[in-house]
Structure 1
Amino acid sequence: MLLKTFEDTNDGALQYMTQAYGLDVARGIAEEAKRQIEALLPLIPDLGGARNIVIRDFPVALWYVAYFRPMKAHGKTAEELGKMIYDLFETKLRQMPEAARRSEGAKLFLPEHVDKLREWARWTQKREYPANWVASFVPGNGTDCDYGYDYTECAIVNYLKAHGADEVAPYVCLNDFIRSRAYGTGLRRTKTLAQGDDRCDFRYKKNYPVTQDWHTEIPVIRKRMAERID
């Protein structure tokens, strides 16, 4: 299942990279990424299986690792990889009917989902799975936040670091904004572990505009990256 999902992504990536880099480079990266993913899939860390309600978000970490190595070998940057995955994801979301997107978003505000999220956050704090997220639930404030959560450990960031691909981590986080905009979940976030903060502070408000995206966040990421180098 995950291999087929990656292959679908890789088809889109091949087209994307062909336009950007030419067919020979694109094909070389795509073929090596396929080999990388085949090696990575059997070694996915245990995150608790079905008990983990956000586990569906994890496979993208493997995608980034699979592309990071061959793209770097061809002189491409982490930002270029981040933009490719961002653009491919945005295209995928646009292909969904608007009614379907909004329906998916509305489910995230149902009381039963919020209760599950609260319980999930408590469960992560037991730290039964070292590679897992660790989260705290944040109740709504009655005005601009229906609910939220803080991550103090992120399974995706930890995985990228373990595979020497931590420099792509800040770009992974930007996908959250385009999904929230498509689903109408009104995400705001001021901190991320990927950029060296002490937490990721997700705050959601149903049908609020999402004002953050690649264009607003890239200057911040570039500035922080430059500060690390200095």
Structure 2
Amino acid sequence: MAETIHPFYEKHRGAMEAAMRHRLDLAEPMLRRRAHLSDIGGIRREVMAEFDIVLTQTPYVGGAASRMSDFFMRLIGFMAISRVLSRHGVPVPVIGEIERETYKAQLLTVPEDERLAAGRQFMSPENQALLREQAAQSKTSSHRDAFPEDFVYDFVEPGPGDDFEFGIDYKACGFCKFAARHGDKDILSNICGLDFDAYATRGIRLERTQTLAGGASHCNFRFSRLR
């Protein structure tokens, strides 16, 4: 295990820690009611200490030049929450429910017009062009050699009869690689469950019928606009 945080994540550490503290604030009622935990202060300290460990384990996948860096920064903290709650005997499905509701509540603190503007930007032709470019790059041997822990994916164009605007097929997942390396496979599905609300709160409909974490050959993300 690495003992230091990559400079890219160190630069963003303050914002990531603030987001974690906010999540724990939002999660507190559910931790008491659903997880039946009483020492919330102790849980908070454990989670933040575990988050320090998770940060040293988070792989560098290109920094600002890679769209997947943002996914790690936004979601990797849930690994710390899952680890701590699992150690306290909270069932994995309950952990997943708490994390998904907490994340949705956190996302909804962003004003609606900002969220919907972000969704329009994601669905825009300009962003689709970027996705095509980065998807092609993710599969090159040079990129995979430089960032072996990164995601690998294809951009998917809709065919005749399809009702989505575009899709992404993830052939290799950075979170799956992280979980395999650090013994987190039992809590990995909780990360997958966060995707639907992340897109829905921005006005985007995500359809996905299979995941790498669930044993499929790829994760089939399909995107369209919510009416």
State the AA in 2 paired with 1:135. Answer: Y
| Residue 89 to residue 82, structure 1, CA distance change in 2 (3 Å) | same
**Equivalence map 1:67-146=2 (5 Å):** 67-126=81-140, 127=144, 128-141=146-159, 143-146=162-165
Equivalent in the alignment of 2:6? none
Q: Deviation of residue 159 (structure 1)?
A: 1.0
Paired with 2:192 and 2:206, the residues of 1 have a C-alpha distance of: 12
Equivalent in the alignment of 1:188? 207
Give yes or no for contact 1:187–1:205 (8 Å, CA) kept in 2. yes
| Structure 2 residue ranges without an equivalent (≥5) | 1-14
Give yes or no for contact 1:64–1:168 (8 Å, CA) kept in 2. no
| Residue 67 to residue 93, structure 1, CA distance change in 2 (3 Å) | closer
Paired with 1:8 and 1:207, the residues of 2 have a C-alpha distance of: 28
Aligned pair 1:23/2:42, yes or no? no
Equivalent in the alignment of 2:168? 149
Equivalent in the alignment of 2:69? 55
| Residue 91 to residue 11, structure 1, CA distance change in 2 (3 Å) | same
Equivalent in the alignment of 1:32? 46
Give yes or no for contact 2:63–2:69 (8 Å, CA) kept in 1. yes
**Equivalence map 1:209-220=2 (5 Å):** none
Deviation track 1:139-163 (CA, whole Å, cap 9, x = no partner) reads 1336412111100111112112222
Equivalent in the alignment of 1:224? none
State the AA in 1 paired with 2:226. Answer: N
Q: Deviation of residue 90 (structure 1)?
A: 1.4
State the AA in 1 paired with 2:156. Answer: V
Aligned pair 1:176/2:195, yes or no? yes
TM score, norm. by length of structure 2: 0.83
Q: Which moved more, 1:155-164 or 1:64-73?
A: 64-73
Paired with 2:70 and 2:210, the residues of 1 have a C-alpha distance of: 22
Q: Deviation of residue 27 (structure 1)?
A: 2.9
* Identity across matched positions, percent: 26
Q: Deviation of residue 60 (structure 1)?
A: 4.7
What SS does structure 2 have at the residue aligned with 1:205? strand
Paired with 1:175 and 1:61, the residues of 2 have a C-alpha distance of: 8
Q: Deviation of residue 54 (structure 1)?
A: 2.7
Q: Deviation of residue 119 (structure 1)?
A: 0.5
Give yes or no for contact 2:61–2:68 (8 Å, CA) kept in 1. no
State the AA in 1 paired with 2:28. Answer: L
Whose RCO is larger (CA < 8 A, sep 6+)? 2
| Residue 97 to residue 5, structure 1, CA distance change in 2 (3 Å) | closer
| Structure 1 residue ranges without an equivalent (≥5) | 209-230
Provide the aligned length of Structure 1 versus Structure 2: 207
| Residue 22 to residue 43, structure 1, CA distance change in 2 (3 Å) | closer
Give yes or no for contact 2:60–2:69 (8 Å, CA) kept in 1. no
Paired with 1:72 and 1:104, the residues of 2 have a C-alpha distance of: 34
Root-mean-square deviation (CA, aligned residues, Å) is 1.9
Q: Deviation of residue 58 (structure 1)?
A: 1.1
Moved over 6 A (4+): none
Paired with 1:148 and 1:104, the residues of 2 have a C-alpha distance of: 17
What SS does structure 2 have at the residue aligned with 1:95? coil
Paired with 1:133 and 1:36, the residues of 2 have a C-alpha distance of: 24
